[in-house]
Structure 1
C-alpha cells in the first residue's frame, strides 16, 4: 500500500468539545504530481504481478491512502494499518489470506513519515519512503522499520555547503520550512557551512499553515538583506506561498539555491524571478511503459475512481454525469499540460517505483525458493511483516539500470544531479542538469560541474555575495563589532609594518635593514 498526500492543503475538522468530533476529511485541490506517484505504484505492482521471475504465481494487492500532508490523518491511517484489515477472499483463486499489511510505501513528507513509523514500527511493519529525506530518520534506534529509496538530507546539506563554497559565496541568507524536513535539513547545512567559513545574515522559517503576516515578514527580510544568495531547505508547498508573497513586491535580484523538494518541481518554474536557481535534485530516470500507463485513462476507469474523477473534472473543467458543463468525450489527456502527464523529469516517481520493487524482492526472498534455475513460490505460505522487514535489510537488485540497496541506516547511496533553471530560446524556464554529486566517490571527486550555468536575471557571470570585500596587501582585517567573522573593515598597516597577503588578520613589523614604500592601503617592506 502507499500513503501520499493527494490533496492540499490540509484536512478540516470542527471541534466544539461538546460533541463527538467529525471524521477527518481532506479539502483543497488534488495534487497531480502526488497522483502520478500513486499511479506509478500501481504500474509497478502490475508489472510485478505479470512477471515470471519476481514472485511468479503470486499477486500483490494494495490500498492507497490520502494523508492530505496532515499528521493527524497519517496517524489515523497508521492505526488502521496496525489493527490489520478485514480478511480478503479472492473468488478467482482457491485461497484466502488475511488482509494484514506486509509493508508501506510512503509517506511523501518527513514529518508524517516520522509519525507513521513510530506507530507501525511497534508492529514490525516495514516502511519504505520515496520522498522523506530528513536525516533524523536514519536513526535506527528510533525508526527501526524505516527505509527509503531517496537519499538522506545529511548528504544534500553537505553538498549544498560545498556548492556555496565553490562559488565563493561567504555571505548568505537561509530560509526553511518549519518542519522536520526544513529544520533538520537547514541545521545540517548550517553546520556544514560553518565548517566551510560561510556566514549567515539571517535564518527564517515558515510553514503553510502560518498566517500571511509570517510570510510577509520573511519576504521583507529577504528584500532588505545585503546577501544576494538565498539558500532554501523548504517543501514546494511551503515555498510556493513565500514566492507568491515576494512576487507582489519583487526584491532586488537574488540567487536562489534550492533543496531537491522544490528545485526540480516543474510547477514552481512559473516564478520567473527565480530564473538561474541552482540546487541538487534526485537523478532523472526512464521507466519504460509508464507514460502509456498514465495516459491510458478510459471513461470507465475514470468513473470507477473518485480520485481520477476529481482529477479529470479539474483538468478539463467539466463534470462527469452532472448537468453543468458536462464532459462531452472530446477531452484528450494526451494534450493536457499537467504534472501528472509530465514524464520528462522522472525523479521522485522512480523512487516510488524502486520502493515497490524493493518490497517485492523482500517478499520474494521470504516465500520463494530457487532450484535448478527455476523459482517456486508458495502462495499459501503465511508470512509475517517481520520477515519482510528482515529481508529488506538484505535487498540488493538492479532495476532499469539502477542498483537498489540499503545501508545499515536504511539509506541508499546518495547521488544527485546539479540542476539549473535556464531560459530556453522560447523564453520559458527549463530545468537543466549541469553537474553531479556522488557521495560514494573519494573526497575531491564527489562534486563536478560539466556544463555552463546561467545565473539570476539570465547573467553569465557568477554573482558576488560577501559581507566585506577582501583586504589587499598593506592592510589588515578588523572585525565589525557584533557581526559575523565575514564582516570586517580593512585597516591600513601603520608605518613600519607590513602585510603581504590578502585578508591578513595582522600587520607585522618590517625586518631591520628592509626598506618600505607606500601602497594604496599602507606600507610594504622591500628586501
Structure 2
C-alpha cells in the first residue's frame, strides 16, 4: 500500500508540472491509482514496469489485434488455474504483405502461419488431456488464453502486460482476474520478443517456458530467473552445423543471418568454430527483419557474385521467405543450403515453386516426440465445431482456397479474390496439411511442465514442503512458488 501511495504522489507531482494538454492524462492516472489503492488491489511487487505501459499505450496500432480465450468448460467460473500462450499466428510483414492500389494507399495482409496454428492447438490439446486425466491435478480445471503477437516486438510486450494485468487495459503491478489464478506463460518463439518478455516476467518471478527460443543469452539464471525452455540452446546447434560443414570438407562458406539475437549470436559461434578448423568465410550478409523485403535484392546479388556454393542460413521461415522469393525470381540454383532448425522443416518453404532453389538443403530439425491422438485431433477440426474461432476459418480458407460465406471478415484476409465458397464438406484429413510432431511436442511438454509443478504444489504436505512457511494454496499461490517447484528441481 505504501508503494502505491508513493506512486500516486509521483503522478500528482507530474500532473502539476506538466502543461495543460498533458494534465488530463496524468489526472486520470492519478485518480485510477488512488481508486485501486483504496480497494487494496495492490500487486506487491516493484513498480519499475509501470513505465512500460506509458511507452506502449500511446503508440498507434498498425496491426489488428487477434486474441482467443478458451476454456474446457462452458462456465468460465469453473476454471481454477489459467495458462497463457504468446505466439505469432500471423506474419504482417510477409511477402506480398503490402498491397498497393492505384491510389497509392496500402493495406496490410496478415498471413496465417500453419505451423504456428498447430502449436496453438498443441497447447489446447494438452490442457484438454490434462483436464480429462483423473490422476493429474484432480478436481482442478486448467484454462487457457492465447495472444497473437504477429511477430511484432511491441505486440509481444503489450500482450505480456495485458496478461499480467488480466485485462486489455494495461495496469502494471495489478491483477484484475480475482476468480482465476494465473500460473505462467508459454512462449514466445522469437528471441528478441522472448528476451524482452523475460525481463518483465522476471520482475515478478512469473514462470515463462519457451518452446522454440534457442538464444544462449537466456541461459543466464541471474538475469532471467523465471525463464525456462523445452528446446536446447543454440550453442549446441551452432557447433553441430559447423561439424556438419567440416564433415563434408566444405571450406569456402557464405552466411546469411537475421539481424536479431537468434541470427547474430548463432553466427558468432558457428563462424568461430569454422575459422578454428581452417575454413574460410566468403561473405556474411544480414537479413534485415525491419524491412519488408528483408534486404533480399542486395543479398541475392552477393550470392550470385560469390564463388561460394555453400550458404549457411540462420533465420526463421517468415524472414527467409522474401529472400527465397527473390532467389526464385532470379533463378539462382546450384547452391547447397545449410538450414538452422527454425526453417529446415518449414511448410511454407517446402512449396513446389521453391524446390528448384532449395533442393538439396541440409540442416537440423527439432527432435519430435510421441503425441498419441494429436494427428486425429488436428484432422477433426472444422469451422462448424467452433464458429466463433476465426483462426480455424482462416486456416480453412487458406488450405482449400475458398471463402467461408458465414464469415463476414473473410474478404479482409483472403488474398485470392476469385476463391470459391467453402462447402463445409472439406476435411483436413484429405488435405495437404502435414501434422508437425517437432515444435508442437515442445509446446505439449511445456504445458505438462506447468501441470507437474502444480501437481507438486497440490500434494505438498505441511512440514515436508520446500517453503519455510509451509505449503502454498493451489488456488492462491505466488508465481515464484511455481518456479521453484519442479522447474528449479529439474
* Pairwise same-fold verdict (TM > 0.5): yes
Structure 1 unaligned residues grouped into runs of 5+: 12-24, 87-95, 372-376, 396-404, 406-527
CA distance in 2, matches of 1:356, 1:198: 42
Q: Report which stretch shifted further, 308-317 or 229-238.
A: 308-317
State TM-score, norm by structure 2.
Answer: 0.70
Counterpart selection for 1:66 from 143, 148, 151: 148
Q: How does 1:9-408 map to 2 (within 5 A)?
A: 9-10=92-93, 27-84=109-166, 98-212=179-293, 214-251=295-332, 253-270=334-351, 271-272=354-355, 273-316=357-400, 317-321=402-406, 325-338=420-433, 342-343=434-435, 345-369=436-460, 381-394=475-488, 405=490
Give 1:328 shift: 2.8
Residues 188 and 210 in structure 2, CA contact (< 8 A), matched pair in contact too: yes
Per-residue Cα deviation, 1:283-314 (whole angstroms, up to 9, x for no partner): 12231011111122244423121222222233
Unaligned runs of 5+ in 2: 1-83, 95-106, 169-176, 412-419, 463-470
Moved more, 277-286 or 348-357: 277-286
- CA RMSD of the aligned region, Å? 2.5
Q: Bigger shift: 169-178 or 301-310?
A: 301-310
Deviation at 1:209, TM superposition (A): 3.5
The structure whose Rg is larger is 1
Cα deviation for residue 169 of structure 1 reads 1.2
Distance across 1 between alignment mates of 2:193 and 2:108: 15
For residues 180 and 224 of structure 1, what CA distance do their matches in structure 2 show? 28
Rounded Cα–Cα distance in structure 1 between residues aligned with 2:377 and 2:472: 30
Rounded to whole Å, the distance in 1 between the matches of 2:431 and 2:367 is: 25
- Shift of residue 188 of structure 1? 1.5
Distance 1:157 1:38, change over 3 A: same
Q: Secondary structure at the match of 1:331?
A: coil
Contact 1:54 1:364 in 2 (8 A): yes
Relative to its length, the structure with more strand (as a share) is: 1
1:400 — aligned with what? none
Q: Which runs of 4+ in 1 moved over 6 A?
A: none
Q: Is the 8 A contact 1:67 1:74 kept in 2?
A: yes
Aligned length: 365
